[in-house]
Structures are given as C-alpha cells and as structure tokens.
Amino acid sequence: MSRVLRVLLTLVLGLALVLSPGVARAELVDIPYTVVRGDTGRRIARRFGLTYAELVALNEGHSLERLRVGESIVVGRGHRHVHRVHAGESLSDIAGRYRVSLAELQRWNVGLRPARLARGQEIVLYSDREEPPSESVGEVDDGSLVNGIALPPHPGYVVRHRERTFLTLEAADRLLHAFDRLRDEDEDAPRVQIGDASRARGGPLDQHRSHQSGRDVDIDYFYRRCRETCGHHRLTADQLDADRQWRLIEPWLREGAVEYIFIDHALQEPLYEAARRAGASRNDLSRWFQWPRAIDVRVGVIRHVPSHADHMHVRFTCAPHDTGCVPSDGRDPRHE
C-alpha cells in the first residue's frame, strides 16, 4: 500500500472517531501557564521546548520581560480535555494515556495531589491529540466502551453492520495495520467481511456473550476460490486459504497484541502448517496453537470455541493505559 493511502486511512480513522456518536470534537485553544516565583520568559520557553521568539509570538502584545507571580501566559496551542478519574487510576496512568508529563498535569491543575485522586474527580489537560483516548472498561462479557470508533473503510475488508463495529482506537489501529501489511505483501488478496465488534458505547450485544468492551471483533476467513470478497461461509480444512489467513494474524501473535483468536479446531491444522512453513519455531507453535492437542485442552492463543467454522473471533489485549480494562483469563467459558 502506498504512503499516500496510509495517510488517507489515518485521516479517515481520526475522522471516524470525531464523528462517532457520543464523542465531542475538541477545539484548538491556547494552553495557559501560571507564572511562579523565579520564572523568566526564557526559562519558561526552555521548559516547554520553545525558543524565546516562539514564546513571544504566542503572547503578542504581552511583555515577557517583567512577569508577575500568578500572571497567566500562553505556552502553546492544543486540544483541551477533561478527564474523569476512574477507580484505581493514578496520575501517571492519566499522563501516559494523554502523552503529557506529570509536571504538566500539576501545572494545569493547581492543588492537584497525586496521592489523593478521587474517583470521578475531573482533571483538565491539553494535548496535541484532537480525539480523547478511547477506553475499554470492565470485562469482555460485562463492560463498556468509552470514545469507541467505527472501523473506517479499507481496501482489505468490508463491514457488515457499521453500528456494530466499534473498537478502541488501539484495537482498530492494530487491525488496520495488519490489513495494511497483508495488502503490501499480497495486492491480489480478496477482501474479507468484518462481522461484529461492539456498539458505540459497548455493553450487551445480541447474539454474543462478549463483544462488550471494544476489544472483540469477528472476521470471516479467507477461503480458496474466493475472488473479490470472502463472506460468511462454513469451511472445511481443505477450503481454508491458510497461507493468507496466517499472514493476517501472524503480526498480532508476534507483537502480543491478542489475548485469543477463536478458530474451529478442524481449521487449526492447516493454519498450523502454514505457520510452520512461514518459519514459526516449535516453541511459538506450541505457545500460539491449541492444535495438535485435543479439542478440550484449553491452551494456546488460538483455540477452539464452537460455532467458529465460518469466522474467527479476535480478542485484542488491553491497551497499556486502560486501567479499567479487565483481561480475560481463558478459564471462564463466558469469556469465549
């Protein structure tokens, strides 16, 4: 895929987030700073990675030579967000999620005490990111999705029901990158159909036990003799286009991006052989696949769950800063 197309997809992904239900567009505003004792214009400029001339330009008509304690000046332009603290969330978690520093959070919120954060407390911050980060909250079968995004168009797939294909930004990004890589390697690959992920705000989704927190997505298989779009078909082992299927999912496994991929036991053997041909080590094969173990042996990232002969179910991991996200341990059948 060309760099131009990648850029366009990135823009579409951002637009999908901005236009998704329940997501407010953040306006670009001045980022304020309150002068403290010992500050000079040049010291403030260095602290925020600016030249003195840049700081002067941001404060046109405002003298920076004689600053007063308590005076407010502008140190940049950004998007203003208000973050509501979750139970167990630390200031470091919040800083990491929005890609800002602890010092900046404390400068923007006078009197903020890291050791005394309360659930529901509101913290004001500024970021170069227009969209507020998405969050997977709770368990996959008892959870919700905050600021979920609808999957944008892509030449590698078609979406069956847009209102049921919301994911966290991190999960959507992982999915898009996998299809990018596949199309780079195989321009003749047909499209596949994306089934259900989550609703815009997560929660119960009919016909599913999970799919509640923006980390689960159903993807139809590549199969032999599929020309343009591989849809929903129950496959036998000899019908699976195992080499293409492996090229799609291999990056997720190597990067540790998925908790589970639920695939019918009968389809795991050709996929296992495709992985072996592609150079997967014995240790990797044993760690990733349930096969050749029996159908009732509950091990492996790729494992059997009934009713997955016509599509695979991919469950992405919790994002590093999703402190309210609860990983599934694979022992509770409800999680499958």
CATH number (domain holding residue 178) = 3.30.1380.10
Mean pLDDT of 116-135: 82
Low-confidence winner among 6-15, 31-40, 208-217 (lowest mean pLDDT): 6-15
- Domain membership flag for residue 19: no
- Using the predicted structure, report yes or no on whether residue 11 has a pLDDT greater than 60: no
Confidence of residue 56 (pLDDT cuts 50, 70, 90): very high
Same domain, 85 and 228: no
> Rounded to whole angstroms, how far apart are CA atoms 168 and 133?
8
Quick one: tokens of 253? 């496994």
Q: Mean pLDDT score of the chain, rounded to an integer? A: 86
Per-residue pLDDT, 127: 83
> Rounded to whole angstroms, how far apart are CA atoms 21 and 124?
22
The count of structural domains within the chain is: 2
Same domain, 122 and 192: no
Per-residue pLDDT, 27: 67
Q: Which of 74, 98, 129 is the last residue of a domain?
A: 129
- Structural domain range at position 190: 137-335
Q: Which of 129, 145, 174 is the last residue of a domain?
A: 129
Per the CB < 8 A criterion, the answer to whether 263 and 308 are in contact is yes
**Residues whose CB falls within 8 Å of the CB of residue 226, separated by 6 or more in sequence, listed in order:** 190, 241
Confidence of residue 92 (pLDDT cuts 50, 70, 90): confident
> Rounded to whole angstroms, how far apart are CA atoms 31 and 184?
40
The upper half-sphere exposure of residue 259, i.e. CA atoms within 13 Å in the direction of its Cβ, equals 21
Per-residue pLDDT, 103: 84
